[in-house]
A and B are shown apart, each in its own frame.
Chain A
Amino acid sequence: MEYEAVIGLETHCQLKTKSKMFCGCANEFGAEPNTNVCPVCLGMPGVLPVPNERALQLTALTGYLLNCEVPSFAKFDRKNYFYPDVCKDYQITQYDFPSTTTGHVDFEFGDGLERVRITRAHLEEDVGKNNHFEQHSGVDFNRAGVPLLEIVSEPDLRSADMAYDYLNALKDILIYGGISDCDMEKGMVRCDVNISVRPKGTEELGVKVEIKNMNTFSGVRRAINYEVPRQIETLESGGTLVQETRRWNDVAGITETMRTKEHAHDYRYFPEPDLMPLRPDEAWLAAVRSQVVELPLVRKQRFVIDYGIPAQDADVFVGNVPLGGFFEQAVKGAANPKAIANWVINNLQARLTETGSTVDDLKFEPSAIVELVAIIDAGTISSTGGQEVFAELFEDGGSPAAIVEAKGLAQVSDSGELEQWCREAIDANPGPADDFRNGKENAINFLKGQVMKASRGKANPQVVGETLAKLLKG
């Protein structure tokens, strides 16, 4: 029997705020342990949490970016459980009335586009960080109370690679929107993976296994690639799967049982009595909507369609937004978008990287690239000359035409002068000249090189080739 995997992801990401979710402690990675803490995030008795408005805005913004509904009513709830990194013995989260619901993410997968439905994206607080030692564990509460967005997908993913591409697309969206820095090294994105298998073509969901706390996307991919065959093999060998939570052992490359359904948590959710409900009004939502940015995929498609540039070039402009912005300014109304994209990607980007500068530091306007491409296309300068003009432009600014003039880079297409150089080259190199006459066509390239040298690179190579051929055959 052929099986298919059914995969859903719960992706947690830390929001990009200055302060924590319910108190004024800094939302900052890497501080000395237990220094960004206060009675609120340490769960002392008698304290009163107050929600961070920016975190709520970023949550609603995420909703809009993920095509979600942003309901006019939401609230916070307590999720009760005992664990050393939860100092209050409950986590504040959103249970039955989350801040966003029912959306979708479109992303590129293989040769086409895929859509994963989003169940909800709800706001909660992060928990402390556990450090494990030989005999004990040690808890740092700096992370406790950092605003955390949990983005829950529908079980629309069918493979490890698809999950991987979805996660990367989601990450790009969150970075684009300024929602989260998504720095994996700093644990800003973590993921729970729900996996089941079912006979292909059937609708009913199989027994679900949850793999908790994945902190790399490649780990997610490896874990799915292990877990799916494990489930299929279990079924095919006549075994039964149990609903359970498993952990990914990255060293061994396997998943292991953490707890089965009998030991499942009973979180006893109830409305958080310390917090008032949320009723975002139209003005507040409109202010959030004004922060909506163009999604990476939409941007890519727009660049490919509007400017006719290759998808790989569009990817560069999606990955490097300021560079794409520069390209767009240059390309408006220009004749040769592909050539402009080439210069911006191959030359400008390279120089910016080498010099550690940004497009804001440039000494020339985007229109200078258009001018440069135009004079190359017109044959006024060679592409080598173009490199020289660009180098000068990058160094000191100015206009390409003026640089061509000042450096005497204009190509010589004038037949009189060219013919003179060509004759000299033929006279000085009878060997190659004879070779050409005897049918060795490549021999002309040597002569061409001699003419270019004599002209100090200024001769128009195409005209040189034509002139040489004419003289040699004549």
Chain B
Amino acid sequence: MANNDFDIRYVANLARIALSPDEEAKLGAQLGDILGYVKKLEELDVAGVEPMAHAVPLANVLRADEVRPSIPQEAALANAPKQANGLFIVPKIVE
């Protein structure tokens, strides 16, 4: 059963995607179906089961505080749409 307990425009705005009214209807229905499907989990009785932070039963996977080589600046900036003076150039940040 579909779950329509959400606002498709709000969700689209959070993801910064512009949707046409047709897309809103279509994707809204699909998302509702997905949420409805996941909602099935609520039927399970999980009282007494400790919430898990991760599905893999591991903890404390850590690394020692050691410096390892970084990548060259050219490589870091290789995919930048725009760059100057070693910086990623972006539209002017106003906030």
Where the two chains meet, the residues of A that have a C-beta atom closer than 8 Å to any C-beta of B are: 17-19, 23-26, 32-39, 42, 50-56, 73, 75, 80, 82-84, 97, 130-133, 135-141, 258-259, 266, 268, 271, 273, 275-280
Contacts and interface: CB of A to CB of B under 8 A. Distances in A.
B56 A276 contact: yes
A37 B56 contact: no
Nearest to B64: A53
B45 interface: no
B87 A35 contact: no
Binding site secondary structure of chain B: loop
Contacts of A36: 70
B63 A52 contact: yes
B40 interface: no
Given A34-B87, A137-B91, A25 B63 contact: no
Given A34-B77, A37-B76, 15 more contacts: A24-B63, A26-B67, A26-B70, A34-B73, A50-B63, A53-B64, A73-B53, A132-B93, A133-B92, A136-B92, A138-B90, A141-B76, A273-B54, A276-B60, A276-B61
A444 B30 CA distance: 106
B54 A138 contact: no
Report the interface size class on chain B. Answer: 35 or more
B65 interface: yes
Interface in B4-36: 14, 16
B73 A32 contact: yes
A264 to B, nearest CB: 12
B67 A280 contact: no
A50 B61 contact: yes
Contact of B59 (A17, A33, A277): A277
Nearest to A56: B62
B54 to A, nearest CB: 6
Binding site secondary structure of chain A: loop
A258 B70 CA distance: 36
Contacts of A136: 82, 89-92
B95 interface: yes
A102 to B, nearest CB: 21
Interface string B38-80: 0000000000000001101011111111111111110011000
B20 to A, nearest CB: 21
Interface of B: 14, 16, 53-54, 56, 58-73, 76-77, 82, 84-93, 95
B90 to A, nearest CB: 4
A139 B88 contact: yes
A139 B71 contact: no
A462 B64 CA distance: 66
Most buried by A among B53, B60, B62: B53
Given A26-B67, A34-B73, A278-B60, A140 B91 contact: no
A141 B71 contact: no
Contacts of B63: 24, 50-53
6 contacts: A33-B73, A84-B93, A138-B84, A273-B54, A276-B61, A277-B59
Given A37-B76, A82-B16, A271-B54, A24 B66 contact: yes
Most buried by B among A32, A50, A139, A271: A139
A18 B91 CA distance: 33
Contacts of B93: 83-84, 130, 132, 137
Contacts of A273: 54
Contacts, number: 126
Nearest to A128: B88
Contacts of B67: 18-19, 24-26
Nearest to A273: B54
Nearest to A280: B60
A33 B61 contact: no
A48 B63 CA distance: 12
B54 A277 contact: yes
A19 B58 CA distance: 24
A275 B53 CA distance: 9
Given A51-B63, A276-B56, A276-B59, A138 B73 contact: no
B89 to A, nearest CB: 5
A276 B86 contact: no
B47 to A, nearest CB: 20
Contacts of B58: 276
A53 B54 contact: no
Given A34-B77, A82-B16, A268-B14, A138 B62 contact: no
A53 B82 CA distance: 36
Contact of B95 (A32, A258, A276): A258
Given A24-B68, A25-B68, A138 B60 contact: no
Contacts of B59: 276-279
- 10 cross-chain pairs, A with B, having the tightest CB-CB distances, nearest first: A24-B68, A138-B87, A54-B65, A33-B86, A277-B53, A53-B62, A279-B59, A75-B53, A137-B93, A139-B88
B41 to A, nearest CB: 15
Nearest to B90: A84
